[in-house]
Amino acid sequence: MITIKDLHASIEGKPILKGLNLTVKAGEVHAIMGPNGAGKSTLASVLAGREEYEITQGDINFNGVDLLSLSVEERAREGLFLAFQYPVEIPGVSNINFLRTALNEIREHKGEKGISAKDFMSLVREKSALVELDSKLSSRSVNEGFSGGEKKRNEIFQMAMLNPKLSILDETDSGLDIDALRIVANGVNQLKTDQNATIIITHYQRLLDYIIPDFVHVLYDGKIVKSGGKELALELEEKGYDWIKNNTPN
Amino acid sequence: MEPVTKATLQVFRKKLSPTKLLLPSSFIDANEKALVEMDFPNSRHEAWKYTRLNRVAKINLESTPTSLIDWSSYIMVKDAYTFVFQNAGCIYSSPALPKGLSIKIGDEIEAIDWLSSINEGHVAKLNVAHAQNGCVINISDGVQLDKPIQLLFISDGPKQPNFWRNQLQIGLGAKADIHVGYFSKDAIDSYSNVHWSVFLKENSHLIMTKIQNDGDANYHFSTENISQLKDSNFTLNTLTLDGAFVRNDVLVNVEGENCETHLNGAYIMKDSQHIDNHTTIDHISPNCNSYELYKGVMDDKSTAVFNGKVFVRPNAQKINAFQSNANVLLSNDAAVNSKPELEIYADDVKCSHGSTTGQLDEEAIFYLRSRGISEAAARQLVVAAFMQDVFLKVASNELKSYIYQQLALRFNLYSQEKD
């Protein structure tokens, strides 16, 4: 699915990622954990194509294409999806209209025909039920006046609508109460197939009680310093990030 | 800056033909007498402080014959009573008008048809002196039109001078929706000057939507002089989608009690385009409401001026007047000069004004792009969203979709130029 090799990225001349390697195969769920400032959100931003970051070294192969050569929208059309840590409110742009435009651009890219209004609406009903999102919310302006939980559920709703190959969930659990967490996780789990993959970026182990990862990686100082199975998350939770810091040679 | 000498306006007029419209001769004489004493205003004149006329003053306007154009591509809405002007000619007139709607064109208009109107500045005076064509529209008392009136004014050819003069009268309790479109073709330093006198009788209702889509080489001057009698409701939507240089002067005299006035404007400028909206609402009578909402999106080195005056005369108690001008700058080189002016001489009134200038939310654009939407489409969506509350004031759905279509066209072109 995706192979990240020796990735170095910096912002305003400050190096954040310092030689990151990661391989994710179809059907897998990977969790990336790490302390604040380790580079977790930078990784999500670089994958999605945020232009503020400068890639100084390394490459990313996404299903045979050079991801770094693609624009933000081309990455999305190739099947990459970022669930935002802080979803943006866009007053005046309807959730439904923008999603239909997005879906049709993705379909056109794949050489498929645009979706009819009728099929689109039944897809909206089906997918909003998946994350228990009130269908009234889907016709409002993008995220405008949504609660924190509704915003995160809207992210997963969009993910369900666009049916990406690789989803990156950037701190999706932050700010969620236990019910919202369960709903979001349930949505993600239901969308899982052996054709797609998920990267979960999180500070806490909490979300991983609901979405069971196949692999857990620890990101520290711009590199993956430890990888393991789901038990690594529990170990981290127990010992804290100092355990990693103290065992990593600088 | 080279000073504009007194002779400049007279040199500018040299090759312009005298008016072809049958205006009352006393009116023309008085106008001419004042005009020969005038010159182009310079930046010392408050009303022209941020809009320089040096370049306009230097143009050698000269009317040259052009061949008849295919005007069908300029049509904004299909279902309307349509009239099309190409330079000094009226090239299409709607074949059948309903009872209660009279539209006289050019030499059909008699001197007696013109109602008096005040023409102060050089723009309005030039219009009287050189008007080549135009129309007088009368909507009889009690008539509610089943479809809109659509007037298209197309300026064709380089250095082309165009002076159109129009009058619109809405009868007692009558109701109308009028769409006016301004376009230019093959323009190089062309000049359009259009004047409207609008009279709303008691309890009448008018929505007038102007689409200014003039292209990149035309200087456009537009004046609307409106008078509202008791219980009337007037809306003017001024939508400037394109144009090298556009100056709009709107004066609303709210003469009667219990009137409503809505002035809405949207402008979307690029390159080194310049837009200047000057509005005046003069509240002469009590118990009236006026609402003003102008929004602009400015790219590249474009510049905008907004000057909104509201007068509340001593006897005009219980007035609510609200004014707002909001701008988004897409580039560091774009600039907006926004100046609200309230002059209130009555004591029981509620007036407010506000002006904001900011940037387009780049985070919103990134969000939309991250879902697969192209950058150009994302910008168009966010700009359209910002402009939405102005576009919603356009009553006709067909015209609304025309506006969105033009906007899409504009932003795709924009992205190609940028790439």
pLDDT tens digit string along A15-43? 999 999 999 999 999 999 998 889 999 99
Please choose, from the candidates B349, B327, B351, B347, the residue with its C-alpha nearest in 3D space to the C-alpha of residue B338. B327
Q: Is B162 strand, coil or helix?
A: strand
> Given an 8 Å threshold on Cβ–Cβ distance, is B373 in contact with A90?
no
Query: Which residue in B363, B372, B388 is closest to A106 by CB distance?
Result: B372
Predicted complex ipTM exceeds 0.85: yes
End-to-end CA distance of chain A: 31
If phi over 0 gives left and psi between -120 and 50 gives alpha, with beta otherwise, what is residue A121?
A: alpha
Report chain A's mean pLDDT, rounded to a whole number.
91
Task: Give the count of Cβ contacts less than 8 A between chain A and B.
Answer: 74
Taking the C-alpha atoms of residue A44 and residue A133, their distance in angstroms, rounded to an integer, is 25
**What is the rounded average pLDDT of the residues A169-189?**
90
CB atoms within 10 A of CB B114: 17
Residue type, A221: D
End-to-end CA distance of chain B: 36
Residue numbers in chain B where pLDDT is lower than 50? 1, 413-419
**B378: nearest CA in chain A?**
A98
The confidence score (pLDDT) of residue B416 equals 39
Contacts of B364 in chain A (CB under 8 A): 88, 90, 93, 142
Residue with tokens 């020969």: B36
> Given an 8 Å threshold on Cβ–Cβ distance, is B381 in contact with A105?
no
> Given an 8 Å threshold on Cβ–Cβ distance, is A92 in contact with B384?
yes
Contacts of A162 in chain B (CB under 8 A): 371-372
Contacts of A154 in chain B (CB under 8 A): none
pLDDT at A13 over 80: yes
The confidence score (pLDDT) of residue A174 equals 85
Closest-CA distance, A92 to chain B, in angstroms, reads 4
pTM confidence score: 0.84
Closest-CA distance, B363 to chain A, in angstroms, reads 7
Please choose, from the candidates B305, B363, B298, the residue with its C-alpha nearest in 3D space to the C-alpha of residue B332. B298
If phi over 0 gives left and psi between -120 and 50 gives alpha, with beta otherwise, what is residue B244?
A: alpha
Taking the C-alpha atoms of residue B101 and residue B98, their distance in angstroms, rounded to an integer, is 6
The confidence score (pLDDT) of residue B413 equals 44
Q: What is the pLDDT of residues A197-229, one digit of tens each?
A: 999 999 888 899 999 999 999 999 999 999 999
> Given an 8 Å threshold on Cβ–Cβ distance, is A73 in contact with B363?
no
Closest-CA distance, A99 to chain B, in angstroms, reads 8
**Interface of chain A toward chain B, CB-CB under 8 angstroms:** 48-50, 71-73, 75-77, 81-82, 84, 87-88, 90-93, 98-99, 101-103, 105-106, 109, 141-142, 158, 162
> Given an 8 Å threshold on Cβ–Cβ distance, is B366 in contact with A50?
yes
State the sign of the Cα–Cα–Cα–Cα dihedral A120, A122, A126, A132: positive
> Given an 8 Å threshold on Cβ–Cβ distance, is A109 in contact with B370?
no
**A89: nearest CA in chain B?**
B364
Q: Are B177 and B148 in contact (CB under 8 A)?
A: yes
State the sign of the Cα–Cα–Cα–Cα dihedral B64, B70, B75, B79: positive
Q: If DSSP states are collapsed to H, E and C, what string results for B251-264?
A: EEEECCCCCEEEEE
Q: What is the pLDDT of residues B323-355, one digit of tens each?
A: 999 999 999 999 999 999 999 999 999 999 999
> Given an 8 Å threshold on Cβ–Cβ distance, is A102 in contact with B388?
no
Contacts of B377 in chain A (CB under 8 A): 101, 105
Query: Which residue in B369, B388, B389 is closest to A72 by CB distance?
Result: B369
Q: Give how far the C-alpha of residue B132 lies from the chain's centroid of Cα atoms, to the nearest Å.
A: 19
The confidence score (pLDDT) of residue B35 equals 93
Query: Which residue in A76, A101, A105 is closest to B370 by CB distance?
Result: A76
**A87: nearest CA in chain B?**
B367
At A248, is the pLDDT very low, low, confident or very high (cuts 50, 70, 90)? low
Q: Are B414 and B270 in contact (CB under 8 A)?
A: yes
Query: Which residue in B373, B375, B385 is closest to A102 by CB distance?
Result: B373
Q: Are A174 and A151 in contact (CB under 8 A)?
A: no
**A78: nearest CA in chain B?**
B372
Please choose, from the candidates B126, B160, B103, the residue with its C-alpha nearest in 3D space to the C-alpha of residue B247. B126
Spell B319-335 as b/e; 16+ CB within 10 A means b.
Answer: bebebbbbbbbbeeebb
Contacts of A82 in chain B (CB under 8 A): 370
Closest-CA distance, A3 to chain B, in angstroms, reads 20
> Given an 8 Å threshold on Cβ–Cβ distance, is A91 in contact with B372?
no
Closest-CA distance, B359 to chain A, in angstroms, reads 14
> Given an 8 Å threshold on Cβ–Cβ distance, is B361 in contact with A109?
no
Which residues share a beta bridge with B149?
B81, B178
**What is the rounded average pLDDT of the residues A67-79?**
96
The confidence score (pLDDT) of residue A92 equals 87
The confidence score (pLDDT) of residue A238 equals 85
> Given an 8 Å threshold on Cβ–Cβ distance, is B371 in contact with A158?
yes
Closest-CA distance, A172 to chain B, in angstroms, reads 16
Residue B2 burial (10 A CB sphere; 0-12, 13-18, 19+): exposed
> Given an 8 Å threshold on Cβ–Cβ distance, is B385 in contact with A93?
yes
Taking the C-alpha atoms of residue A137 and residue A154, their distance in angstroms, rounded to an integer, is 9
Mutate to test the interface with A, among B371, B388, B392 (most CBs of A within 10 A): B371
Q: Are B394 and B400 in contact (CB under 8 A)?
A: yes
> Given an 8 Å threshold on Cβ–Cβ distance, is A72 in contact with B370?
yes
Contacts of A109 in chain B (CB under 8 A): 372
**B367: nearest CA in chain A?**
A88
Alpha carbons within 13 angstroms on the beta-carbon side of residue B268 total 26
